[in-house]
Amino acid sequence: MKQEENTKTNHWHGTDDNCRLSDYRRLKTKILDLHDKRYMGANIHGAHKENMAARKQLVDVMFKRFDADNDGQIDAGELSQVIKQEGLSKDVSECTLFDLLKYNDVDDDEHLTKDEFYTAFDVYLLTLPDGQEVSVTTVTVGQSVVLTCAIAGERRPPILWKRNRQYLNSLNLEDINVRPSDFFGLRMDKWVQGT
């Protein structure tokens, strides 16, 4: 009996491991767009792509639809129902809705909580104190500087720092130290003056 359950679990999870992360991201975008088109009003259609409040609203609608028994979590059986109801099947990629469990069931209990569902669809609940949207820091070449981000909240995405439309995080400068998620230290002498 236990072996049969494991086989069933592996089937539900889509653990054939043919679902690549890039295909999984495309699947999630497709699911968001499909549900946006079918269940959201025309006045906010597409808003989830740029507006976090609209994305959260859409993901809340999806969670409510997916959670058929209203127990606050989504299991493989409920995902199976959504696949059937929405006519979702494998298209070009090897990914299915079951891969939500594979990639986002953090505690491996074979259910997705609302928080895990938010994480799957990149819903971040963040706040920024008034007046801290932009902060200008002037530093002399050769001095060190520490940049901080005042955004607070759960499940913060990585902070990306830019200077003159170039991401600082991706520069291979010796003196850049990325500290726990919101601090960024660097020495200005590694930059070309005048840029």
Domain count, the chain: 2
User: pLDDT, tens digit, for every residue of 129-153?
Assistant: 888 777 777 888 878 777 777 877 7
Whether residue 45 sits in one domain with residue 23: yes
Name the residue with higher pLDDT: 129 or 192: 129
CA distance 182 to 24: 28
**pLDDT score for 174:** 55
Any idea how long the chain is? 195
Tokens of residue 41, six digits: 């009003």
- Domain boundary (100, 123, 146) is at 123
Sorting pLDDT into bands at 50, 70 and 90, what band is 28? very high
Same domain for 107 and 144?
no
Mean of all residue pLDDT scores within the chain: 77
Coil/strand/helix, residue 62:
helix
Question: Is residue 50 very low, low, confident or very high in pLDDT (cuts 50, 70, 90)?
Answer: confident
Does residue 33 sit in the same domain as residue 62? yes
Q: Give the pLDDT confidence of 6-18 residue by residue, as tens digits.
A: 333 344 444 456 8
Cα–Cα distance between 183 and 81 in angstroms, integer?
Answer: 44
Where is average pLDDT lowest: 134-138, 141-145, 163-167, 183-187?
Answer: 183-187
Burial of 42 (0-12, 13-18, 19+ CB in 10 A): exposed
| Domain final residue, candidates 123, 158, 174 | 123
Residue 30: which CATH number? 1.10.238.10
Most confident of the following: 2-16, 60-74, 75-89:
60-74
CA angle 44-54-110, nearest 5°?
Answer: 125
Domain extent at residue 173: 124-195
* Residues 119 and 137 both lie in one domain: no
Residue 130 and residue 127: Cα distance in Å, rounded? 9
Residue 68: pLDDT band (50, 70, 90) is very high
| CA angle at 45 for the pair 39 and 47, rounded to the nearest 5° | 120
pLDDT at 15: 46
Residue ending a domain, among 123, 156, 174, is 123
Q: Which residues contact 52 (CB under 8 A, 6 or more apart)?
A: 123, 124, 126
**pLDDT tier, 169 (very low <50, low <70, confident <90, very high otherwise):** low
Q: Do 36 and 115 sit in the same domain of this protein? A: yes
Residue range 97-104: average pLDDT? 93
Same domain, 75 and 98: yes
